[in-house]
Amino acid sequence: MASIVKSFAILGVDGYLVDVEVKQIEGQPMISIVGLGDTAVKEARERVQAAINDSNYTFPQKKIVINLAPSDLKKSGSHFDLSIAIGLLMETEQIIKEKEEEFAFIGELSLNAKLRACSGVLPMIIAAKESGIKNIIVPLDNVREASLVNGINIFGFDSLIEVVEFLENRREYETQIVLANGDDEDRFKLDFRDVQGQDGLIEYIVVAAAGGHNLLMIGQPGCGKSMIAKRIPTILPSMTDEEALEVTKIYSVAGILRTKSGLVVDRPFRAPHHNASTNSLIGGGNDATPGEISLAHNGVLFLDEVAEFNKKTLESLRQPMEDQKVTISRVKYTNTYPASFMLVAAMNPCPCGYYGSDKCKCTDYEVLKYRQKISGPIMDRMDIQKYVRPVDFMNLSSYSMGKSSRELRERVELARGIQKKRFEGVEKVNCNAQMSNSLIKEYCHIEAEGQRLMELAYNKFKYSARTFHKYLKVARTFADMDGSEKLRKKDIAATLMSRDLEKDKSVMAVL
């Protein structure tokens, strides 16, 4: 009868239970691993053999068959090493498990039998809880990450021999002290107080953060676009426990969760270079790994010099921006990753960057061609589009100090609190930018004067349905900033001024 040891595998950002079945049979000495394992799984043969020998156990001189069930799902990673080693030692009766509890095992083995940390531990622990398994043995460096899930007993060890001694009741487990994440008051080194002379723009930045709206900034080089974008995470509201767990799962699966780190509490800020490939931005590759849009889930995706991005790469953002998720299909499997992010983009107004000043020598055709690098559908999805005016840095004393990130964050959290109460019970809607058409009809009631202004603008510029709904969502956020139930005339007016680049037309004539 084969020995069966519990472990886990990853599919997308979710884990599932795997039975590691180990059986020794008569035949030429060899070890065969079946069950659709990738190269890292197949190479476990050499690691496990070296680790068992180094721990003064005997590697069996028979044919060993190891099956990872269910066998029809692809499995990847080196975290099966520990479960294979334990199963092999139990099958050859070199260890007798004295503990009655059921255990599952996660961990990579080094050649000297040390346990190394693995990626994707958090979703595996969540899968264990859903499967009813209460006891998990992991590498010491993964204890903090694994301890994020309540109701599970986590045991961290440093080597294979320590695990064996624990299972045989020859070692008492020493509880590991898991330090909580530090206070978040001083975790931001950047502050909006550093931004001077952009008070009008910052008001729209605050609205974008309060409603989760996509933002495009256009201005000359050095006018502060990147400086402002990098400070947006400092005014976003703190993540809920559910949001933090989602982000931590994605980072764990992607293998970029820092060693010994716990829950990701800061909203992500991802800023890929403009030469990034479509796969790196959207996700993909041989293993269909998450891309930048998933790593920016519940946070900010900043595309600096957005006009320099490959047009095909930019167009691939269209569907994820609407669906808040991305599905990556391969021949044998399909992974779906969450991708609910706030897109912040920055660009120059022309190829040389100095359009509108004496420095600019670009022709009208060159300016038009440059701006057409961003297609209409992408531009249509940018809720707020604002020019960033240069600041006279020789006379900074004439500008007042900007408001601090803490002050701005208080306003954002107040508006988000209203939205949280409004959308309570509505699945996957946390802010105004995520409202569906039915929610827009329910919550975006315009006062009479505001309605007339909106109709006048619509008749003049013939907005698309998406643009019209984007305006209503932004207006809803302006109203929430003042705690107003209905959309007032000033909310509509401020919203109509939020798209400086809307076909390069001004709404001043309407106002």
CA atoms within 13 A on the CB side of 201: 26
CATH number of the domain enclosing 94: 3.30.230.10
The residue that leads in pLDDT, 120 or 504, is: 120
pLDDT of residue 449 exceeding 50, the answer is yes
Among candidate residues 131, 152, 167, the one where a domain is terminated: 167
Domain count of the chain? Answer: 3
Instruction: Kindly state whether residues 377 and 507 are assigned to the same domain.
Output: no
Instruction: Kindly state whether residues 207 and 269 are assigned to the same domain.
Output: yes
Residue 402's pLDDT is what? 77
Q: Is there a domain that residue 508 lies in?
A: yes
Among candidate residues 167, 202, 233, the one where a domain is terminated: 167
Instruction: Kindly state whether residues 242 and 372 are assigned to the same domain.
Output: yes
Residue 261's pLDDT is what? 65
pLDDT of residue 185 exceeding 70, the answer is no
Q: Is there a domain that residue 179 lies in?
A: no
pLDDT of residue 507 exceeding 60, the answer is no
Residue 511's pLDDT is what? 42
Q: Is there a domain that residue 183 lies in?
A: no
pLDDT digits (tens, 9 = 90+) for 38-84: 999 999 999 999 999 999 999 999 999 999 999 999 899 999 999 99
Ranges assigned E (strand) in 84-239: 103-105, 108-109, 115-116, 135-139, 153-157, 215-219
pLDDT of residue 506 exceeding 80, the answer is no
Spatial neighbors of 448 by CB under 8 A, at least 6 apart, are none
Instruction: Kindly state whether residues 80 and 141 are assigned to the same domain.
Output: yes
Instruction: Kindly state whether residues 154 and 259 are assigned to the same domain.
Output: no
Instruction: Kindly state whether residues 145 and 258 are assigned to the same domain.
Output: no
Torsion sign over Cα 425, 429, 430, 431: negative
What is the DSSP-derived secondary structure letter of residue 14? E
Q: How confident is the model at residue 260 (pLDDT cuts 50, 70, 90)?
A: low
Q: Is there a domain that residue 174 lies in?
A: no
Instruction: Kindly state whether residues 211 and 64 are assigned to the same domain.
Output: no
Instruction: Kindly state whether residues 337 and 474 are assigned to the same domain.
Output: no
pLDDT of residue 508 exceeding 50, the answer is no
pLDDT of residue 509 exceeding 50, the answer is no
Average pLDDT, the chain: 91
pLDDT digits (tens, 9 = 90+) for 329-377: 877 678 899 999 999 999 999 999 999 888 999 999 999 999 889 998 9
> Of 455, 461, 454, nearest to 494 (Cα)?
454
pTM: predicted TM-score of the whole model, two decimal places: 0.91
Q: Is there a domain that residue 93 lies in?
A: yes
φ/ψ region of 59 (left if φ > 0, alpha if ψ in -120 to 50, else beta) reads beta
The answer to whether 268 and 247 have CB atoms below 8 angstroms apart is yes
Q: How confident is the model at residue 259 (pLDDT cuts 50, 70, 90)?
A: low
CA dist 57 and 55 (Å) reads 6
Q: Is there a domain that residue 101 lies in?
A: yes
CA dist 153 and 441 (Å) reads 48
Instruction: Kindly state whether residues 404 and 439 are assigned to the same domain.
Output: no
Instruction: Kindly state whether residues 11 and 136 are assigned to the same domain.
Output: yes
pLDDT digits (tens, 9 = 90+) for 285-316: 877 889 999 999 999 999 999 999 999 999 99
Residue 374 lies in domain: 192-428
Q: Is there a domain that residue 345 lies in?
A: yes
Instruction: Kindly state whether residues 413 and 278 are assigned to the same domain.
Output: yes
CATH number of the domain enclosing 479: 1.10.8
Spatial neighbors of 132 by CB under 8 A, at least 6 apart, are none
CA dist 186 and 430 (Å) reads 26
Q: Is there a domain that residue 178 lies in?
A: no
CA dist 471 and 213 (Å) reads 11
pLDDT of residue 505 exceeding 60, the answer is no
β-pairing, 342-347 vs 300-303, is parallel
Instruction: Kindly state whether residues 279 and 382 are assigned to the same domain.
Output: yes
CATH number of the domain enclosing 353: 3.40.50.300
pLDDT of residue 10 exceeding 80, the answer is yes
pLDDT of residue 118 exceeding 80, the answer is yes
Among candidate residues 409, 428, 447, the one where a domain is terminated: 428
